[in-house]
Structure 1
Amino acid sequence: MSDDLKQPDATLRLLILLARLTLTEAQRQAALTLCNSIASWPEVARRAERHLVLPLVYRHLHELAPPTLAPADICHMHQRALILVQRNLLVAGEQQRLVVEILDPLDIPYLFFKGPALAARYYDEPAMRSCRDIDLLVPRHRCVELLEFALQHGYHSLDPEALTPDRQSLTFAIRTQSVVSIASPSGVRIEVHHEIDRGAGIYQTEALLDNRVAYLAGDTLLYSMPTHELFVYICLHHTRHYWSHLHWLVDLDAIQHHPDFDETWAHACAEQRGLVSTYSACMEFYRALAAPEPESSVHLSQRSRDMLEACFTTLQGGFEAELALRFKRPTPEFGFTWQTSVAYRRASRIREWVRRFQPLYLDYQLLPLPPRWQWCYYVARLYRAVAKRRRIRWPAR
């Protein structure tokens, strides 16, 4: 570990150890030992909630029944966990409502990934998985139809704000954003994606939708990625965010313990996507986290050690620490240089340079132009970029 990295305290070590669906006997004993070092159980509950694992932590502690955990503390933890479980059930219900009331009637091909879709398929008790939003992938050419219908039936826009349901406005938003966020009538955030890798070319939306698999959530048929594809994707996504939430560690555990998971297929998928270094480091990282002091593992590669240090940094430093690490990303899609090639990083820099001159939905909001005149937005953004570079004052928008 780096000398300037603060060592995790007993509370964080306990939460990391409990961030899995089931505990081995060795892990149970290690957890009980860590419980003896806990100075404040309300602090454990607070941090478990902040790291999005409180329902699962409560379940484990209720089963372990450590002598140092007072009845009042476990009762408080239970009450907070119930509130979060109710929220998780609400999000899951909104996912099914989205299918029944919009996606199926419009016959739009789709798949869900992460969040309640992952919980429903891989968790023994789906409500244990904290879910704050719904991630939905649909073909780009069906996004306008989906958003128009949703905005006319009780949903409202979050990003871009004040998105109007007219087709010209929606078409422009889809062209300029890979994700449009809306809220359901009950306030659940839904991220509508038409690509899942920021245009990096790792994934093709049509191919993902062609290979989607069906599963039942209650009595509703939903679609998601095949298990091996989803596992590799979450390795990519969660590493991009430096494993800053503990429920992502549970995802690693839950999928690997599902009967559909095949490590050979997952490795082959990682090879196909050019993500073998990411996948292999995540597997090492996961195995190290099975111990109460993962940083002491002598078998960790430098890549997995980098991942572990970043995880500890973000878990202790919060969102500000994650933001600081983001500024060091070699590309927007990858958290570490060893995940990419020199050629890929060069291509990514070119993409990011070009993206700076792409119009934003705000440009359209300020001055809605018909399609034949929308090239003017590119000229305006280029002029503003040149003006900024030359330190010419430009009126605030």
Structure 2
Amino acid sequence: MEATGDTIGGIADRELDLLACAIAQSPAMDCARPARTGGIDWARFEALVDRHRVGALALAGAARIGMPADVAARLAGEEERNASNYLRSIALLRKLSDHFARAGIEWVLLKGIAVAEAAYERPALREMIDIDLMVDAVRIEEAEGIILEKGFTRIHPRFALDDAKRANFAKLHSAYSYFRRADGAQLDLHWRTSQNPYFVPQIDAHWREWSGTTVVSGFPTLRPDVHLAYVLAHGAKHGWVRLKWLADVERMVAMLDDAGVALLTATLREHGLETVAGSAFALCHTLFRSRLPEALADLTSSARAAQLHDHALELIAADLPMGGAGIGKPGYLWRRMRHSLGLVRRRGYRRRALLLEVVRSHDLEHVPLPKGWIVPMAIISPVLAVGRAISGKQ
């Protein structure tokens, strides 16, 4: 696709196109053209930078897009903040690693730091808000105890968990979230990689066999091809509504040699993620003009990959700042459900995906269901949502 008029990428949105051009690894286009022709709403551009969490990357591409000096000045502290978060996370992980080792808890580091170290010129170019750890489901409570001892408070879910609520929450979600007020550290503790257990079940079952170490810090993480498969699944589940995740994909793909491409292609086929990957690679080409290896470019050509690509573009466009999008908007919800239901064709996936779209886990606090009874929440949650909406209008 060639740049035409004021549009660079696949969405007729000058500020988003300009941002995509700024954070692309090596864009094959004239990024500064829209800025030179005038009419860029730089306040909106900054809102997009914040929404997509790419401040340091955008600043790194400032000259490429003709960013005004005042905008660049406001982004000047982004990389320093990322570096501070990164160093804090490394220090925390070293302490947690020691405690987990003493307790005999196996764990693996997901996304964030592992991607930043392996795929970016400088780790601080990637914003890292939280740390994602995964442990075996049967060791979750022990791992949580260690995390709480380090001064963290569980913020998701916020309510107390008895056995039934813990079991039901575990069926609806894949992680607990924690926050430490003393330094602002955030951490997600996973027992599986996705809320939907039918999405990437092989990774959930075999992550220990596929774990290695990160490039710099020596913490355990997934084998590169499996990790990229997980990154693709994670971004797809969220509709790629943050360009940060696509920037990760572009850079992880750029690292692959011919053997790496062949291994990744086989891994995607093994996990049934060819369509998910093809749509993501197509988005990278549309938005960033990424140069794809032939074997990966072939994955973008299927009708299903093209459909998911188009759905994701709709979600990205609908999720723009000041666009009025939100979960309460029927059109946005329908787009998201269409995208979510079409990600993979695996028995049980669509039924669970639909359940997860309508159930709100915080409702478990007020609904004392027996252990394992999550299906009734598909009726209870919408009823409670209507009640809250009516109550809010009174």
What TM-score comes out, normalization by structure 2 length?
0.74
1:14 aligns with 2:40: no
In 1, the alpha carbon distance for the partners of 2:178 and 2:16 equals 34
In 2, the alpha carbon distance for the partners of 1:55 and 1:275 equals 30
Q: Name the SS for the 1:221 alignment partner.
A: coil
Structure 2 counterpart of 1:154: 151
In 2, the alpha carbon distance for the partners of 1:152 and 1:169 equals 22
Larger Rg: 1
In 1, the alpha carbon distance for the partners of 2:363 and 2:150 equals 22
CA contact (8 A) 2:42 2:71 kept: yes
1:287-312 deviations in Å (ceiling 9; x for gaps):
233449xxxxxx96654543443344
Structure 2 counterpart of 1:215: 214
1:91-130 deviations in Å (ceiling 9; x for gaps):
6336524534533333321111122222122111111111
| Pairs within 5 Å for 1:265-280 | 265-280=263-278
Structure 2 counterpart of 1:295: none
In 2, the alpha carbon distance for the partners of 1:135 and 1:91 equals 14
1:164-210 deviations in Å (ceiling 9; x for gaps):
7x999978865775322222452322111111132216324341122
In 2, the alpha carbon distance for the partners of 1:200 and 1:155 equals 31
CA contact (8 A) 1:214 1:221 kept: yes
Structure 1 counterpart of 2:56: 55
Q: Which runs of 5+ in 1 are unaligned?
A: 293-298, 368-374
Q: Name the SS for the 1:191 alignment partner.
A: strand
Structure 2 counterpart of 1:335: 340
Alpha-carbon shift at residue 216 of structure 1 (Å): 4.3
CA contact (8 A) 1:183 1:190 kept: yes
Structure 1 counterpart of 2:296: none
In 1, the alpha carbon distance for the partners of 2:65 and 2:374 equals 64
Amino acid at match of 2:52: H
1:47–1:84 distance in 2 versus 1, CA, 3 Å: farther
Amino acid at match of 2:344: T
Structure 2 counterpart of 1:132: 129
Aligned residues between the structures: 356
1:344 aligns with 2:318: no
Amino acid at match of 2:275: S
Amino acid at match of 2:211: R
1:359–1:232 distance in 2 versus 1, CA, 3 Å: closer
Paired-residue identity, %:
16
Q: Name the SS for the 1:72 alignment partner.
A: helix
Structure 2 counterpart of 1:309: 310
Alpha-carbon shift at residue 274 of structure 1 (Å): 1.4
Structure 2 counterpart of 1:105: 102
In 2, the alpha carbon distance for the partners of 1:77 and 1:360 equals 36
Alpha-carbon shift at residue 256 of structure 1 (Å): 1.0
Alpha-carbon shift at residue 214 of structure 1 (Å): 0.9
In 2, the alpha carbon distance for the partners of 1:325 and 1:133 equals 27
Structure 1 counterpart of 2:228: 231
Q: Name the SS for the 1:335 alignment partner.
A: helix
In 2, the alpha carbon distance for the partners of 1:43 and 1:356 equals 31
Amino acid at match of 1:12: L
Alpha-carbon shift at residue 322 of structure 1 (Å): 6.6
In 1, the alpha carbon distance for the partners of 2:288 and 2:359 equals 46
1:361–1:105 distance in 2 versus 1, CA, 3 Å: farther
In 1, the alpha carbon distance for the partners of 2:175 and 2:375 equals 21
Structure 2 counterpart of 1:372: none
In 2, the alpha carbon distance for the partners of 1:311 and 1:330 equals 11
Structure 2 counterpart of 1:296: none
Structure 1 counterpart of 2:177: 181
| Pairs within 5 Å for 1:267-306 | 267-291=265-289, 302-306=303-307
Q: Name the SS for the 1:209 alignment partner.
A: coil
CA contact (8 A) 2:23 2:61 kept: no
Structure 1 counterpart of 2:93: 96
1:191–1:122 distance in 2 versus 1, CA, 3 Å: same
Alpha-carbon shift at residue 268 of structure 1 (Å): 0.7
What TM-score comes out, normalization by structure 1 length?
0.73
Alpha-carbon shift at residue 282 of structure 1 (Å): 2.4
In 1, the alpha carbon distance for the partners of 2:326 and 2:263 equals 31
In 2, the alpha carbon distance for the partners of 1:310 and 1:351 equals 16
